[in-house]
Structure 1
Amino acid sequence: MLIGFVVGLSAGLFVHMVFPDARWVDNIITYVTGPVGQIFLRLLFMLVIPLLFSALVVGIAEMGDIRSLRRVGVKTLVYTIAISSVAVIIALASVNLLQPGAGVDPALAQTLLADAREGAGAIVSSAEGKPAGISSFLNIIPSNVVAAAADNDILAVMFFALVFGVGLLLVNTPSAQRLQETIEGIFQVTMRLIGLVIRLAPFAIAAFMFNLASVFGWELLVRLGAYVGVVLLALGLHMIVAYSIVLRFLGGVSPLWFFRNSQEAMVMAFATASSNATLPTALRVAEEKLLLPSRISRFVLTIGATANQNGTAIFEGVTVLFLAQFFGVELTLGQQVIVLLMCILGGIGTAGVPAGSLPVVALILGMVGVPPEGIGLVLGVDRLLDMCRTTLNVTGDLTAAVVVSRGEQESVPEDVDAGEVRRV
């Protein structure tokens, strides 16, 4: 991806400086680089509905696999939604305050935006004409889930998936178990296909960056640096401030003690950029370093690898608003609230693998009227950001395990460990 980013950016900057108004550049964008990017996006959109539906249904349904842990499952779900909301609020506040995507020439941005919408066809759904106020809220509940999926109404599909998952949680029969296994099979197949599609990402990124750099020139690099800074700032605030407060007042432990004993899992998350790949290490850290009860830590961390993705929610929120600012798409407060909800639910349904949030971000962009092609602007630096947000995701899972463990029959030990906590 980094090679594709550099190749596309270099070629685009060269064309921007040497052939600023050449006709053949427009032809290349129209007939070569544009279609390459569209193929990549269409393949992602083809798979995003079954991916998010199956991930959400299985994630919710698995909370009731063991009857004795249902109460733990409810606590985990409530905590996940609450802390994810805090994460997205931090992200939206950071972007609105610092405006990393502002300052681009409005004429160029609108020209590129119009071209992108025309090339994307039915994929890019404009926010214009969509119901507002109470009608927008009611539309979250689909009257026809098939029609909602056909219209790429992802929020309605996610709502149906949450309700369906709760239904599987309540129905404890062999048939329901087989249905859950079938949906889990759909998730596995979809993830495998997305893994194949991601292999095309370097070519798509090169095409996207050529299109953007040939129009915006060096201004693109300035905006990109500001974007990376805002993402890292929001991730840092959530890690240092939000988690420290949660650990102290809800978990009853010292944040310094927690971070020191969790560092092995955090380093593994940073290196692999995958919550799923870090899960075995996180389980061992929870039981051996944090001394949490295994029955709770295994449940919370397994669910958290898919559901509790605070770093992913922050990344998605910052990315959507940054690209909206970059392309001059003004989002109302109501539309930003919808972005917030989408990022929370998207975090629950995002797979814990490298670049797992890519399909969700692309779809949210299309929903709010921002060209999904713009995602190519951030993919070149996504590997670093992916490593950072995965570190936050895994740290958040361990934080959730500490919070949920408190008050259970087996909790954080009160002997040597507690004494260490007090000393710290």
Structure 2
Amino acid sequence: MSLTRQILLAMTAAILLGSLTQRLLLIPDLLSDPVWQEYLHYILDDLLAHGLFLLGGKIFIASLKVLVVPLVFVSLVCGVCHLRDQGSLGRLSLKTIVLYLATTGLAISLALLLATWWEPGSGVDKTTGGNYVPPQPMALIDVLANIFPSNPVQAMAEGRMLQVIVFALLIGIAIGRAGEYGERIGSHFNDWNEVLMKLVTLLMSFAPYGVFCLLFTLFAEQGIGKVGDLALYMLTVTTVLLLHGFIIYPLLLKSLSGLSPRIFLRKMRDVQLFAFSTASSTATVPVTLRAVEQRLGVKNRVAAFSVPLGATINMDGTAIMQGVATAFIAQAYGIDLSLSQYLLVVLTAMLASIGTAGVPGVGLVTLALVLEQVQLPVEGIALIIGVDRILDMMRTAVNVTGDAMVSVVVARSEGAIDQDIYNNPKAGEQK
């Protein structure tokens, strides 16, 4: 059985068994004997959902995250130090950032259009959300200053990806200009890059077990999510995510690179499943980077820059949630937004996707910032928190798809893609 089928089977089993467990735990008198009832709760909740499977999920996430910083640093140093024309780095960076911002603006525009048409917030009871105190976003000047590391070791230890990227760029440029000394150091980084990629491959073989543990714990806690009044909101967000991920991205890929979208989507399935189960673009970076290089044929000098940068600033899925949520909250509170306010939402969400990169709970932070810009009640975020975790999984899958799509397009424009690898359906495939 292929890895994709193993992960799909694990996901299906985890969702079904986890939801069943949650239902059983909600039945007060499932067993007539209180002792057996307590024993059942202990087995299902303490021992399985919040014991064995919670531990397995945390170990899996930790195993992914432990690779992120060293893999990004080593890969980016390798890519930059071997650039024959280091002046092309600025052009490559500009293309990547412009494409990321363009797809983010397109994503939130599509979300606002569909949410305005379907009106998911009409008739929603505003008293069901409870109280919500949003985290405070960083000031813009602090965000810009924090891009540049004062202590690279601390930046790596704390997982500040933009700082790690900047430091890796500087080291790579220095190695490329250091002559024979740089060549010796560069060969060591190449060796480390191969070792880390092999480690990613080994870790992927355990993916079905990690995915099962993560999803079982989630659905044992939440079931299939809180629907009711939020059913139309969930449907709207899901629809826009699917449109963006499976129609907009393929159209952009075909028009900008001329490459086959069908092959691209087929080779991205494992990455999308990883992202869905972890709900973290950063934790999925090792898997995304491996797929972009070994399955899609993108050269390391492009992939090592665009993938980690995309995991940090490319928030297409989050932008879609922000667009739908903004319209939803405005409709729930009976507030009509003007065209200028809608344009402000698009602009704010695009800038916030960069401005709050690396901040925990980035989706809610940026949503609070967007709501404040158009004078909508921030406490309205409480209305959507109940279903946000499940939607977060789907939008993360869209985010990593966008990272890979932009990497392929930029690589094609730079002549840094092996089309034989891209067109080979078996290339880099892991059984």
- What TM-score, normalized to structure 1? 0.58
Q: Which of these residues, 80, 86, 90, is aligned with residue 110 of structure 2?
A: 90
Superposed counterparts of 1:321-400, under 5 Å: 321-351=327-357, 355-400=361-406
Q: Whole-Å Cα distance in 2 between the matches of residues 312 and 373 of structure 1?
A: 19
Is the Cα contact below 8 Å between 1:234 and 1:314 reproduced in 2? Answer: yes
- Report the Cα distance in structure 1 between the residues aligned to 2:107 and 2:326, rounded to whole angstroms: 15
Shift of 1:280: 0.3
Shift of 1:420: 6.1
Counterpart AA for 1:73: S
**Matching of residue 81 in structure 1 with residue 101 in structure 2:** yes
CA distance in 2, matches of 1:353, 1:297: 24
Distance 1:182 1:284 in 2: 25
| Residue 218 (structure 2) aligns with | none
User: What are the Cα deviations for residues 89-124 of structure 1, in whole angstroms up to 9, with x where unaligned?
Assistant: 10110111111111347xxx6x999x98xx98xx99
Opposite residue 253 of structure 2, the aligned amino acid is L
| Equivalent residue in structure 2 for 1:249, among 246, 251, 255 | 255
Q: Cα gap change, 1:91/1:161 in structure 2, threshold over 3 Å: closer, same or farther?
A: farther
Shift of 1:314: 0.7
Q: Report whether the alignment pairs 1:72 with 2:78.
A: no
CA distance in 2, matches of 1:324, 1:260: 38
**What letter matches 1:308 in structure 2?**
N
Q: Is the 8 A contact 1:306 1:349 kept in 2?
A: no
Q: What corresponds to 1:304 in structure 2?
A: 310
Counterparts of 1:173-212 in structure 2, within 5 Å, are 179=150
Give 1:311's aligned amino acid.
G
* 8 Å Cα contact 1:265/1:394 also seen in 2: yes
Distance in 1 separating the partners of 2:384 and 2:264? 32
Aligned CA distance change for structure 1 residues 251 and 409 (closer, same or farther; 3 Å): closer
The change in CA–CA distance for 1:180 and 1:83 in structure 2 (over 3 A counts) is farther
TM-score, structure 2 as length reference: 0.57
Change (3 A) 1:407 1:326: same
- Aligned mates of 1:183, 1:335 — CA distance in 2: 40
Q: 2:234 aligns with which of 202, 225, 228?
A: 228
Supply the distance in 1 between the matched residues of 2:264 and 2:359 (Cα, whole angstroms).
Answer: 25
5+ unaligned residues in a row in structure 2: which ranges?
A: 1-17, 27-75, 163-225, 427-431
8 Å CA contact retained: 1:265, 1:281 = yes
Give the C-alpha shift of residue 181 in structure 1: 5.4
Match of 1:293 among 293, 299, 306: 299
What is the CA deviation profile of residues 162-206 of structure 1, one whole-angstrom value per residue up to 9, with x for unaligned ones?
8769xx8xxxxxxxx6558599699869x9xxxxxxxxxxxxxxx
Counterparts in 2 of 1:326 and 1:297: CA distance versus 1, 3 Å = same
Corresponding position of 1:239: 245
Q: State the match for 2:274 in structure 1.
A: 268
Partner of 1:283: 289
Q: Distance in 2 between matches of 1:276 and 1:420?
A: 26
Aligned to 2:172: none
Which residue of the partner structure matches residue 415 of structure 1?
420
**Would the aligned equivalents of 2:297 and 2:419 in 1 still touch at CA under 8 Å?**
no
Letter of the 1:386 partner, please give it. Answer: D
Shift of 1:368: 2.5
* Structure 1 residue 254 displacement after superposition: 0.9
Q: 1:416 to 1:357 in 2, by over 3 A?
A: closer
Task: Give the Cα separation in 1 of the matches to 2:340 and 2:248.
Answer: 25
Distance 1:264 1:328, change over 3 A: same
The 1:306/1:164 distance shift into structure 2, 3 A limit, reads same
Cα distance 1:223–1:282, how it changes in 2: closer, same or farther (>3 A)? same
* Inter-CA distance 247–228: structure 2 relative to 1 (3 Å threshold): same
Q: Contact between 2:345 and 2:373, CA under 8 Å: does it hold in 1?
A: no
The separation in 1 between residues aligned to 2:274 and 2:266, in whole angstroms, is 14
**Residues 379-417 of structure 1, C-alpha deviations (whole Å, 9 max, x = no match):** 111111000000000000000100100121422x24364
Aligned alpha-carbon RMSD (Å): 4.0
Q: What residue is the counterpart of 1:208 in the other structure?
A: none
Say whether the 8 Å CA contact 2:297–2:421 is kept in structure 1. no
Following TM superposition, by how much is the alpha carbon of 1:335 offset from its aligned partner in structure 2, in angstroms?
1.2
- Judging changes above 3 Å, is the alpha-carbon distance between structure 1 residues 360 and 416 closer, same or farther for their aligned structure 2 residues? closer
Superposed CA deviations along residues 19-52 of structure 1, whole A, max 9, x for unmatched, are xxxxxxxxxxxxxxxxxxxxxxxxxxxxxxxxxx
Separation in 2, partners of 1:389, 1:80: 15
* CA distance in 1 between partners of 2:142 and 2:414 (Å): 30
In the alignment, the residues of structure 1 paired with residue 362 and residue 281 of structure 2 have an alpha-carbon distance, to the nearest angstrom, of 10
Give the letter aligned to residue 420 of structure 2.
D
Q: CA deviation at 1:79?
A: 0.8
Equivalent AA in structure 1 for residue 250 of structure 2 = S
